[in-house]
Structure formats: structure tokens, C-alpha cells
Amino acid sequence: MSRQYFGTDGIRGTVGQSPITPDFVLRLAHAVGRVLKQTEARPTVLIGKDTRISGYMLESALESGFNSAGVDVVLLGPLPTPGVAYLTRTQRASLGVVISASHNAFADNGIKFFSAQGTKLPDDWELAVEAAMAQAPVWVDSASLGKTRRLDDAAGRYIEFCKSTFSNDLTLKGLKIVIDAAHGAAYQVAPEVFHELGADTVRIGCSPDGLNINHEVGATHPAALIEAVRQHGADYGVALDGDADRLQLVDAQGRLFNGDEVLYLMVCERLGRGEVVPGAVGTLMTNLAVEVALKARGVQFVRAKVGDRYVLEALEKNGWLLGGESSGHLLALDKHTTGDGLISALQVLQACVRSGKTLAELLADVTLFPQTLINVRLRPGQDWQSNARLQTVRQAVEAELGQTGRILIRASGTEPLLRVMVEARDGAQAQTCAERLVAAVQAV
């Protein structure tokens, strides 16, 4: 059975258009509450959000929907997605809810959920929620209505948790670090984490107004971070996205490091400390050079579907700890139950401080193959999979690349986009081949 509302990371869309409307969100929360009450008499859910102006409206709708089903609510206010996951676990809540559209512009928003253990929920749970939404609501009587309260020190608790993942015998003193929070959920906590660990911090993207989240700043717009690092003579730059579960890193020379490189560094840092790392998980988008380099170090590598939930599933299946996506979603399951941009950044900086080497020096033995990724906006109802011209061009490109490259064409799980990626040892060839494939998509 396919899901009607849930995508690869919760439910997401344009505010004011189905399904991101207050009436739908109220129904959604009511249905989730009914599913929770199948196994728990008096559930409690935590609700966090990013800085979008629509968060106020959707928070109220969620609160009403949960209360109407007899579910208690704890409001966390603006908090990174991984912070909500952490507090859900430590507060022994039944469920964590995040109001965010992650890296999307402010006009979008979404709802995603975490289990009581702070992990993404399986497809079966989402199907159960959608089934409950198809049923008539069952409002509890007044005496059974849920109550709502606010957890005032949510940000402080999460800051301490992030700091606890950084080695106690190390410090960031002497380092100047630019922090770009994308005007998003981490605008308060991110600078404090690095400051309290000793760094001299420079803040950009830390002044949200409800409308500027991810606007020309953050992990999806790293040019602002690169410029700030150069302008301030910083040692490093850390850029998060709107809900702070992904990151991009920049060194003092303005070189940008993506999630594939960070994953490789995290593996190598642990190997260097004598830890056993049997394997790591990437995705279909992970650069081929990283796979080759990991295998050369005796580390198995498995590709999952794009989406951190699928990386997590592969890690759990294999009993491994480290995985990630090129976009900057990184998982270190001995540190946190979900991807966390702040904690991933701290793991990288810890490796640099401990070794006395720069990021570039630590990554000297892996050179990424050039990749060209082009996003093609799909028209409503456009069936790209049945595009005969695309299939013909794809076959021709595959024959041209042979063993020196690869193609990946996939639909986005969060936006009406087709992502066309070509990877090759020759960057010009990758660009030309990708453009040929895009032209075939757009010709129909």
C-alpha cells in the first residue's frame, strides 16, 4: 500500500495549499493521537519548530488536534530537528513532532515525527496514521482532553547534549569559526555550542524574521559562508540548514567540504584511534571516490536510497554506526539517534584538533570525482519514467561513460523536481552528459 501524504521525510508542501493547511494539520494530529492511544492510555508529544512564520499557525493546529484526542502536548519552541529527537527520548515522551520544511524556502512547511526512542518512524506507522485520517474523528469528552505546557529550558538541554559529544580533553580555544544557522532553528543554540567549547565565533544567518529562513544563507547556499570565512580570517565555517540536521563545512582557504568527505573523515578518525569500523552507509548519490577510498581501507560500503531514514535502516540492518548523504546529513549512531548537523561538525573539528591537521590534510588521500547535478522542475502529471526519448539518451550516455562514470535519475521526495546526476572522472564530460539528459526530459 502506498502512502498518500507522507514523503521521504514527513509531510511537506506550500503553506495554504493542501496538505499544509490548518484544517489538515489538525486532522493529522488527531489521527496520530488516536494511533498513539492504541498502545498508551495518556500519551505525551513534544512539538518543536523552525523559524518560519507559518510555524505559529501549524503549532496551534497540532496542539488542538492532539488535545482533542486526549494527548498531552509539550511545546519546545524553535529548536533543531535533532534537538526534538533528543528531548523526545530523554523526556520519555510518546512522540516527537517537528514543524519544518528543512532546506526549503519560507513559503513551504512540513510536519515530521520521531519515535519515543528519537528515531524516524517506519512506513507501517505512517500507513496506520493515514488509515486513521480516513476515519471519522472521535473527540474525547471534556474531562479527557489533553493539556499543553511549555518546556522553557529546551534549548539549554540540547546545548549541553551537543557539548557532551565532544571529547572532554579537547577544546576549540584558539579557533575562529563562522556559524551560519540559515536564519533557522539553530540560530540561538549553534553559536552557543561552539562558544561554550572555547571557539571565537562569528555569526551569520542568525537573525530570523519568519521570512528569511534559508534565503541566500545556510547549507544550501554556502557562498555566504565562504565569503564570511575569508572576510573574518576564520579557521573554519559551519553552515546548517533550516532545521539544522545537515551541514556544510569550509576551511580557512574557502574550500567547501560536502557530506561524502565528512563521512570519510569520520570513518578515518575512528580508524586512527584504533576503533573497528566494519562498514559505512552512503546513498545512491555518494561520490564513487569515497566508496573506492573506504574499501581501500578495508571498510565495507553500502548504498541506500536517498533519504536519511533509508541510511538509518541500512545501518541498523548491518549493525554499523556511521552513514551519511552528500547533502550533509550525517549519522553517528553512538552519538545520536538521528542526523545532527551540529554534532557532525563537532566530530570533524574534534578530528582536526586531536590530529593537529587541517581538513584538507585529513582528506588528502581522497579526491572526489566530478559530479553534475541538475534539478528539473516537473509539470503536474508529467510521467518522466515513460519518456522514450530519455531512455534512448540514457542508454547512449551509459555506453559513453562505460566504467568511468555513472548516471542517477530520481524524483525528489519533497519537491516536484527530477534530479539528474552524472558522475565521471572527466568533469566536462559529466556536465555535457547531464545536459543531454535534461534536454530529453524537457523536450516532452
User: Is the distance from CB of 199 to CB of 173 less than 8 angstroms?
Assistant: yes
Helix axes 154-164, 81-90, angle to 10 degrees: 90
Looking at the DSSP bridge assignments, the partners of residue 300 are 279
Looking at the DSSP bridge assignments, the partners of residue 44 are 72
Question: Nearest-CA neighbor of 248 among 337, 165, 363, 329?
Answer: 329
- Residue written as grid cell 542568525: 206
Q: How many CA atoms lie within 13 A of 2 on its CB side?
A: 2
Q: Give yes or no: 102 in active site.
A: yes
Name the DSSP class of 139: P
DSSP-based three-state secondary structure for 201: strand
User: Is the distance from CB of 283 to CB of 305 less than 8 angstroms?
Assistant: yes
Chain-centre distance for alpha carbon 365: 27
> Which residues are within 8 A (CB) of 289 and not within 5 positions of it... i.e. 6 or more apart?
260, 366, 367, 368, 369
Q: Is 194 left (phi over 0), alpha (psi -120 to 50) or beta?
A: alpha
Choose the catalytic residue: 54, 94, 102, 115: 102
Burial class (CB in 10 A: 0-12, 13-18, 19+), 295: exposed
- C-alpha dist (Å) from residue 390 to 136, 166, 401, 427: 44, 48, 16, 21
Q: Strand 417-424's sheet: what is its strand order? A: 371-377, 417-424, 405-411
Catalytic positions, written as ranges: 102
